Amino acid sequence: MIDRRAVLAILAAGVAAPLHAVPLRYTIDPQPVAPDLWVVRGVDAPIDHANGGAIANISILRTAAGTVLVDCGPSLRYGQQLKAAAEALTGMPVIRVYLTHLHPDHIYGAAAFDRSIVAATPALARSLETLGPSFSDGMYRLLGDWMRGTEFAAPGKVLGEDHETFGDRRLDLYPLAGHSEADLAIVDATTGMLIAGDLVFHDRAPSTPHADIARWLASLDRLGTIGHRAVIPGHGPIDPTPGAAIDQTRDWLSWLRDTLDRAVAEGLDAVEAGNLAIPDRFAALQAARYELQRSVAHFFSRIEEQALPRVDLRR
Amino acid sequence: MSRVASYSAAVVAMVVAAPAQAALPADPLGSPMWQRLGKSLFGDAPVRFDPRVRVIFPDIAENQRQFPVAIDARGIVGVKRILLFADLNPIPLAVDYTLGAAQPYFSTRIKLDQRTPVRGAVQLADGSWLVSGGWIDAAGGGCSLPPISRVKGDWAQHLGEVRGVARRVAGATRVRLAFRHPMDTGLIGNIPTYNLEEVVLTGAEGRRFGDLRIEASVAEDPEFALIVDALPGEEIAMAGRDTNGIDYAARLMPTTVAAPR
């Protein structure tokens, strides 16, 4: 027989469970891609509550001096989990966190690390002074409790050098631009892996909120000359070849530029431009329509302002 | 009498008591503003929801200050007027477009003040309205953020500038117009409402293509796309006016391009 007290306890447990929902947790699952180099793959989708904003690829390197991270995810919670997972994996404390560029899915996890080990190029550090905190409202709106406690943490180390060496592992630093005002690409000299940040997307459409397509294409040309072996893109699967993901990114950006120019010339509006057919060769790219429509929002009016003639009688 | 029965009786009483006024159909989007907005926009005219009114906009509001929306009702014969509105904007109506010699297509960019239904309504010759639309999520403040040109301070230098193009494609003429205007909503401290309020397009000998009534919920530096039935070689004249009484004028000679891909 179940007495009244037991019934109450059962009822209480049933009622209490939803109130104490399981805390949000990211799945941090580092995949080995080269000796002492792992990647935590982001979800190849837009930032969304379902993925907690964990959409960017994060690299983990084990060196004799300690663990090095390239980017650190979207939130304090992610940064904390990443730190624990990386240190458990390598058995070494994190001694350096590189920020590749300003976007929050790559850098808001920095709040979980000692500021002095978080590093950015001078151009990125300047850019972050004004823009760094500006993504906070949007990220909290989209991600809610995933973002709890997250505040933008400015990098404490400004990188003047063209490489850093940890133990016997040399990392060559390539300060470039185009995806944003300041993009950092890193080559791990030991393995020949290019950790490209968002200069390179792979099977995931490039995003362009701070992009300058001409500079971006020039940066891709530069990356094509450095003699790396394989590429860890900012988003999408690892490219085991030196060129496929770089070429795909270049192809999309060139197509995007030409398509929007032509749309303006033909008198299309922004809605029509965002719904133009995407060529079959981009069928493998995730989030292609989404990024095309975002790119229309980023570029279309500016192209129109340059391309459309004045028609007013005051001209 | 049971509660259900008394409720039913009340409903019947309301229906019976209502005058000839046509009831608005239930809103498939479940908007809290539908009944009130519907009454103010459509009055007593019959209203139906109809997916042939294609309200087209991106999946994401990348910029809540300027969200592109197109209304394409070319699948419907006899459209004489098009409304574009967003239920939960503080200024719900964006554009009221009366068609002359034009096809029922219209697009512009609007502000979004929060997540809201965005709708198009087209009126037929018999006075009835066909409505469609969808929800769009948006970060807040599109209507209550200062215009970029107010922040930069250069809005007055560019007032009156109009860019545009008219392209003949497959027998119709697509007109794009892009104005420089702050489109002040009046919702920002100490800046009264100030917006482009009317744009009229005419052809040879004053033949009307269309007449746009424009509210401040249209984005800063307003852009419009229309499809007009201009004759070959017919020039298009634009005459506009803003709420300060400033006149705008432009002329476009349509050019021919190959049919779009």
Of B60, B68, B162, nearest to A269 by CB-CB distance is B68
CB interface of A with B, residues 206-225, below 8 Å: 209
What lies within 8 Å, CB to CB, of B141 at 6+ separation is B64, B113
Q: Is residue A274 part of a domain?
A: no
**What local confidence, expressed as pLDDT, does residue B153 receive?**
80
Q: What Å distances lie between residue B259 and A161, B167, B168, B171, CA to CA? A: 54, 10, 9, 10
Determine the residue of chain B that is closest to A300 in CA distance: B68
Domain that holds residue A214: 23-241
Q: At B152, is the pLDDT very low, low, confident or very high (cuts 50, 70, 90)? A: confident
Q: At B136, is the pLDDT very low, low, confident or very high (cuts 50, 70, 90)? A: very high
**What local confidence, expressed as pLDDT, does residue B154 receive?**
83
What lies within 8 Å, CB to CB, of B16 at 6+ separation is none
Q: Is residue A39 part of a domain?
A: yes
Check pLDDT > 90 for residue A314: no
Instruction: Please check whether residue B88 is in contact with residue B115, taking contact to mean a CB–CB distance below 8 angstroms.
Output: yes
Task: Tell me whether residues B175 and A267 touch, CB distance under 8 A.
Answer: yes
Segment A71-89 mean pLDDT? 98
Residues of B within 8 A of A293 (CB-CB) are: 58-60, 62
Residues of A within 8 A of B261 (CB-CB) are: 276-277
**What local confidence, expressed as pLDDT, does residue B21 receive?**
55
In angstroms, how far is CA B205 from the centroid of its own chain? 27
Instruction: Report pLDDT digits (tens) over A23-66.
Output: 899 999 999 999 999 999 999 999 999 999 999 999 999 999 99
- Count: domains in chain A: 1
Please, what is the average pLDDT of chain B? 89
**What local confidence, expressed as pLDDT, does residue A3 receive?**
52
Q: Which helix (H) or strand (E) holds A292?
A: helix A288-307
Checking A273-279 for CB contacts under 8 A at 24+ apart, the result is A273/A300, A274/B58, A274/B68, A275/B56, A276/B261, A277/B261, A279/A255
Task: Tell me whether residues B139 and A141 touch, CB distance under 8 A.
Answer: yes
Please state, in angstroms and rounded to a whole number, the distance separating the CA atoms of residues B56 and B119. 9
Residue B111: φ, ψ to 5° = -85, 150
**What local confidence, expressed as pLDDT, does residue A21 receive?**
67
Instruction: Report pLDDT digits (tens) over A116-126.
Output: 999 999 999 99
Q: Is residue A148 part of a domain?
A: yes
Residue A261: φ, ψ to 5° = -60, -45
Q: Is residue A76 part of a domain?
A: yes
Q: Is residue A185 part of a domain?
A: yes
Residues of A within 8 A of B60 (CB-CB) are: 46, 290, 293-294
Q: Is residue A262 part of a domain?
A: no
Determine the residue of chain B that is closest to A295 in CA distance: B62
**What local confidence, expressed as pLDDT, does residue B258 receive?**
58
Interior angle at CA B252, CA B246 and CA B257, nearest 5: 145
Complex ipTM value: 0.85
- Closest Cα in chain A, distance from residue B80 (Å): 22
Greater confidence (B160 vs B136) lies with B136
CB distance from A313 to chain B under 8 Å?
A: yes
Segment B109-129 mean pLDDT? 97
B24 in helix, strand or coil? coil
Q: At B11, is the pLDDT very low, low, confident or very high (cuts 50, 70, 90)? A: very low
Going from N- to C-terminal start, the domains of chain B cover 20-256
Q: Which two tokens stand for residue A184?
A: 């950092």
**What local confidence, expressed as pLDDT, does residue B6 receive?**
45
Query: For B20-256, CATH number?
Result: 2.60.40.2470
CB distance from A297 to chain B under 8 Å?
A: yes
Check pLDDT > 60 for residue B166: yes
- CATH number of residue A168's parent domain: 3.60.15.10
- Closest Cα in chain A, distance from residue B28 (Å): 24
Check pLDDT > 80 for residue B202: yes
Q: Is residue A37 part of a domain?
A: yes
Q: Which residues pair with B237 in a beta bridge?
A: B202, B251
Q: At B8, is the pLDDT very low, low, confident or very high (cuts 50, 70, 90)? A: very low
Q: Which two tokens stand for residue B114?
A: 């929060």
Q: At A20, is the pLDDT very low, low, confident or very high (cuts 50, 70, 90)? A: low
Q: Is residue A125 part of a domain?
A: yes
Q: At A76, is the pLDDT very low, low, confident or very high (cuts 50, 70, 90)? A: very high
Segment B156-177 mean pLDDT? 92
CB distance from A266 to chain B under 8 Å?
A: yes
Residues of A within 8 A of B252 (CB-CB) are: 311
Query: Among B252, B228, B254, B236, which Cα is nearest to B100's?
Result: B228
CB distance from B109 to chain A under 8 Å?
A: yes
Please, what is the average pLDDT of chain A? 93
Choose from A286, A311, A314 for mutation: most chain B CBs within 10 A.
A311
Determine the residue of chain B that is closest to A279 in CA distance: B261
Determine the residue of chain A that is closest to B66 in CA distance: A297
B167 in helix, strand or coil? strand
Instruction: Report pLDDT digits (tens) over A137-178.
Output: 889 999 999 999 999 999 999 999 999 999 999 999 999 999
Neighbours of B46 (CB within 10 A): 15
Choose from A271, A276, A294, A313 for mutation: most chain B CBs within 10 A.
A271
